[in-house]
A and B are shown apart, each in its own frame.
Chain A
Amino acid sequence: MSNRQLGFYVNVARCIGCHTCEIACKETYDLEVGVRWRRVRAVEGGAYPKPYAYFVSMACNHCADPICVKVCPAGAYSKREDGLVIHDQSKCIGCKYCTMACPYTAPQFDEAKGKMSKCSGCYSRVDDGKQPACVDACPVRALEFGPLGDLESAHPADLAETLPVLPSNKQTNPSVRFKVRPEVTLRADRIVDGHRARKV
Chain B
Amino acid sequence: MNELPLILFGVLSQAAAGLALVLALLPLVLRDRAADLAGATRLAGRLVFPFAVLAVLASFFHLGDPLGGFRALSHVGGSWMSNEVVLAALFTAVAAALFCLHQWQPASAGAIRAATWATALVGLVLVFATGMIYQLPTRPEWYHWSNLLAGYVTALLLGALLMALLALWKAEAPASAARLLGAVALAGAGLLAVSLIFYAPYLTGVSAVTAEAVFGNLLFWARLAVGIGLPVYTAAQMARGQQPGRAVLSLALVVAFAGEIVARGIFYTSVLDQVPFF
Name A residues whose Cβ lies closer than 8 Å to a Cβ of B: 36-37, 39, 41, 58-59, 67, 70-75, 91-97, 100-106, 108-111, 113-116, 166-168, 171-172, 191, 193, 198-200
In the bound complex, do residue B63 and residue A93 qualify as a contact, i.e. CB atoms below 8 Å apart? yes
In the bound complex, do residue A74 and residue B74 qualify as a contact, i.e. CB atoms below 8 Å apart? yes
Interface residues of B, dominant DSSP = loop
In the bound complex, do residue B75 and residue A73 qualify as a contact, i.e. CB atoms below 8 Å apart? yes
Instruction: Pick the residue among A97, A108, A167, A199 that contacts B133 (CB under 8 A).
Output: A97
In the bound complex, do residue A91 and residue B74 qualify as a contact, i.e. CB atoms below 8 Å apart? yes
In the bound complex, do residue A105 and residue B275 qualify as a contact, i.e. CB atoms below 8 Å apart? yes
Q: Which size bracket describes the interface of B in this complex? A: 20 to 34
In the bound complex, do residue B138 and residue A67 qualify as a contact, i.e. CB atoms below 8 Å apart? yes
In the bound complex, do residue A73 and residue B81 qualify as a contact, i.e. CB atoms below 8 Å apart? yes
Instruction: Pick the residue among B64, B71, B81, B277 that contacts A113 (CB under 8 A).
Output: B64
Apart from A70-B79, A167-B275, what are 11 other A-B pairs with CB-CB below 8 Å?
Answer: A36-B278, A58-B277, A73-B79, A73-B81, A93-B63, A94-B65, A97-B133, A101-B139, A105-B278, A113-B64, A171-B137
Specify the chain A residue showing the minimal Cβ separation from B271. Answer: A100
Asked whether A58 and B278 contact (CB < 8 A) given A72-B79, A102-B138, the answer is: yes
- Complex Cα–Cα for A186 and B69 (A): 43
Specify the chain A residue showing the minimal Cβ separation from B62. Answer: A95
In the bound complex, do residue B139 and residue A100 qualify as a contact, i.e. CB atoms below 8 Å apart? yes
Interface residues of A, dominant DSSP = loop
In the bound complex, do residue A93 and residue B71 qualify as a contact, i.e. CB atoms below 8 Å apart? yes
Instruction: Pick the residue among A74, A103, A110, A193 that contacts B139 (CB under 8 A).
Output: A103
Asked whether A73 and B65 contact (CB < 8 A) given A41-B277, A167-B275, A199-B209, the answer is: no
Task: Confirm or deny: B72 has a beta carbon within 8 angstroms of a beta carbon on chain A.
Answer: yes
Chain A residues positioned under 8 Å from B138 (CB to CB): 67, 101-103, 167, 171-172
Specify the chain B residue showing the minimal Cβ separation from A165. Answer: B277
In the bound complex, do residue A94 and residue B64 qualify as a contact, i.e. CB atoms below 8 Å apart? yes
Supply 11 A–B pairs (Cβ within 8 Å), ascending by A. A36-B278, A58-B278, A73-B75, A75-B74, A75-B75, A91-B74, A95-B72, A101-B139, A103-B139, A103-B275, A167-B138
